[in-house]
Amino acid sequence: MRRIAVAPFFVLFLTGRLLAQAGNASLTGFIQDSSKAFVPGVRVLAVNTDTNQQFETSTNKDGSYNISSLPVGPYRLQIEKVGFRTLLKEGVFLHTQDVLQINFQMAVGSTSETVTVIGDSNNINTTDAAVGTVIDRQFVENIPMNGRSFQTLVLLSPGTITNTPQVSAGTPPSNDQGEYSVNGMRSDANNFKVDGASASNSPTYTSAAGSSGMIGSATMLGTTQAMLQVDSMEEFRMSTSTYSAEYGRQPGAQITFRSRSGTNDYHGTVYEYLRNSAFDANNWFNTYTTNPLPKPAERQNDFGGTLGGPISVPHLFSGQNRAFLFFGYEGLRLTQPQPASIYYVPSNGTYNTATYSDPRYKNLRQYAPAALQPVLNAYPLPNCSTAINP
């Protein structure tokens, strides 16, 4: 029974390791001695300081090392080889799709001697010419966002504009207002990913000729919570040009969201964002009339929470440094006023009867074919007449 109970958590542990491999960050560099000669066989250890996960490699005969598929987060690098002093470099933070080159120079000595490397904190990508912008969770938490959506943050990337909300006269209406155009590309030419999985959908409108036909998944309000909620996001990167050929699905921007992970410490949030007409004054146009109109009801509740930490079962399994969970939920309840509209329903002979001489046209419900009468009768009866509205 003990083995059966542990089995599901062992599967979760393996899943966590596999998901970690979906990270897009990489570390590379060269290791030299004091004479500038490249040193092979050096042990390079990258330790995620949040989860204590370790990723190890060794330098090749040319003195270079490479560690790929690293999860996003803070790292400590440890460089070791017999006959040289051990090097430690703290405070290395890897962002989504980072490819950082960090070189080291080792000094002759005992491995028990440790040298802490203090360098510049601004790690620069020198391996390719990709142009991109990274927005991390700390920045998101400290900036107000209407609707708790990332759309406004996407505009921080160079070359990004939103489509005009206006529709030219004589053209068919479209639903792409507010979508992003990057470097002159179509708004449906961008590619969205969450943790390496596609978050793009085919457009819900009829695309014009030449359209590449992909837009980001969105809620009914057009916000990004359908892809990832704000509290569950670690960061996102928007690559706008000269990115590598691996992003070949769409020619526009490559927008990659990275979700948060559990750590060795339990952490969580609970939130509720509220809008209610009880806090608002009535609309000026409602009070301007002779008979003032009541204030329309408007209620918006955006609520949810997150929970992350190690997967642990007392006396059976401890996920410290090994297996982690993260759960997030967000719900939206919205009641908002809508403008009144007039819809014409099938006549029962009381509306616009003077227009037609044929009585069959005056009462469609009565004179329609028997197969169509159930359909017409499904509509409500007219609540207007020529005496009310000529």
Q: What is the CATH number of the domain that holds 52?
A: 2.60.40.1120
Judge whether 250 lies within some domain. Answer: yes
Number of domains in the chain: 3
Other C-beta atoms lying within 10 Å of the C-beta of residue 119: 12
Token readout for 309 is: 């930490």
Judge whether 379 lies within some domain. Answer: no
Other C-beta atoms lying within 10 Å of the C-beta of residue 233: 22
Domain match, 233 and 300 both: no
Domain match, 26 and 65 both: yes
Tell me which of 216, 239, 259 is where a domain ends. Answer: 259
Domain CATH number, residue 196: 2.170.130.10
Where b means 16+ CB within 10 Å and e means fewer, 272-288 reads: eeeeebeeeeeeeeeee
Domain match, 143 and 253 both: yes
pLDDT of residue 120: 57
Q: Which domain holds residue 278?
A: 267-335
pLDDT in tens, the chain (390 residues): 444 444 444 444 444 444 444 457 889 999 999 899 999 999 999 999 988 889 999 999 999 999 988 988 899 999 999 999 999 999 898 888 888 889 999 999 887 788 887 765 556 666 666 777 888 888 887 887 877 887 778 878 888 887 765 554 444 444 455 577 888 888 788 888 888 888 887 654 444 444 456 677 777 677 778 888 888 988 888 888 878 777 777 888 888 888 988 989 999 999 999 989 899 888 888 888 788 888 888 899 999 999 999 998 988 898 888 899 999 999 989 888 887 777 778 877 765 556 667 777 778 888 889 999 899 889 998 777 667 666
pLDDT of residue 152: 76
Alpha-helix runs per DSSP H in 209-368: 284-288, 359-362, 364-367
Domain match, 154 and 223 both: yes
pLDDT of residue 205: 47
Q: Which residues pair with 275 in a beta bridge?
A: 300
pTM (two decimals): 0.67
pLDDT of residue 143: 81
CA 197/CA 194 separation, integer angstroms: 5
Pairing of the two strands 254-259 and 191-194:
parallel
State the amino acid at position 273 in one-letter form. Answer: Y
pLDDT of residue 210: 44
Domain match, 245 and 271 both: no
Domain match, 191 and 220 both: yes
Domain match, 244 and 297 both: no
